[in-house]
Structure 1
Amino acid sequence: MRTLAVLPSRFQSTRFPGKPLALIAGKPMIQWVFEAARRAEGVDRVVVATDDDRIAGTVRGFGGEAVMTDPALPSGTDRAAAALEALLVSGADPFDCVLNIQGDEPAMHPETVAAVVALMKAQPDLPMATAACPFTHADEVFNPNAVKVVVNDQKRALYFSRSPIPYLRHSSIFDADFRSWMKPEQLAHFQRHLGLYAYRPATLKAFTSLPPHPLEQLEMLEQLRALGAGISIGVAHTPFFSLGVDVPGDVAAAEALLRERGLAD
Structure 2
Amino acid sequence: MFNSLFCSNLILKFFQFKGSLMKTLGIIPARFNSSRFVGKPLAQICGKAMVIRVYEEAIKSKLDKIIVATDDERIASVLKNAQIPFMMTKKHESGISRIWEVSNHFKADLYVQINGDEPLIKPRIINKILSFNKNSLKKEFVINLITKIKNPIELSDPSNVKFVLNKAKEALYMSRNIVPCGFKSLNFNYYKHLGVLGYNKKALDFFHHQNPANLEQIEGIELLRFVENRIVFHCVEIANAKMLSVDTPKDLQIVEQLLKKEQNG
TM-score, scaled relative to structure 2:
0.84
Distance in 1 (CA, whole Å) between partners of 2:208 and 2:263 is 35
The one of 150, 164, 167 equivalent to 2:181 is: 167
1:116 aligns with 2:107: no
Shift of 1:170: 4.1
Q: Give the equivalent residue in structure 1 for 2:49.
A: 28
1:245 aligns with 2:246: yes
The one of 125, 138, 158 equivalent to 1:144 is: 158
Shift of 1:246: 1.2
1:74 aligns with 2:85: no
SS at structure 2 position matched to 1:39: coil
Tell me if structure 1 keeps the 8 A contact 2:110–2:199. yes
Distance in 1 (CA, whole Å) between partners of 2:55 and 2:254 is 19
Tell me if structure 2 keeps the 8 A contact 1:166–1:189. no
Distance in 1 (CA, whole Å) between partners of 2:124 and 2:248 is 26
Unaligned runs of 5+ in 2: 1-21
SS at structure 2 position matched to 1:256: helix
Tell me if structure 1 keeps the 8 A contact 2:26–2:67. yes
Partner amino acid for 1:67? M
Shift of 1:118: 1.9
Unaligned runs of 5+ in 1: 89-93, 172-184
Q: Give the equivalent residue in structure 2 for 1:83.
A: 102
Partner amino acid for 2:61? A
The one of 32, 35, 48 equivalent to 1:14 is: 35
Q: Give the equivalent residue in structure 2 for 1:3.
A: 24
Label 1:210 to 1:255 Cα distance change in 2 as closer, same or farther (>3 A).
same
Partner amino acid for 2:230? G
Tell me if structure 1 keeps the 8 A contact 2:154–2:160. yes
Partner amino acid for 1:251? L
Number of equivalences: 240
Q: Give the equivalent residue in structure 2 for 1:55.
A: 75
Label 1:115 to 1:263 Cα distance change in 2 as closer, same or farther (>3 A).
farther
Q: Give the equivalent residue in structure 2 for 1:232.
A: 232
**Greater helix content:** 1
Partner deviation per Cα, 1:139-161 (whole Å, 9 max, x = no partner): 32122111111212211111111
Shift of 1:135: 1.3
1:209 aligns with 2:220: no
Q: Return structure 1 stretches of 4+ with deviation > 4 angstroms.
A: none
Distance in 2 (CA, whole Å) between partners of 1:193 and 1:214 is 20
SS at structure 1 position matched to 2:104: helix
Tell me if structure 2 keeps the 8 A contact 1:148–1:164. yes
Q: Name the % identity.
A: 33
Label 1:264 to 1:13 Cα distance change in 2 as closer, same or farther (>3 A).
farther
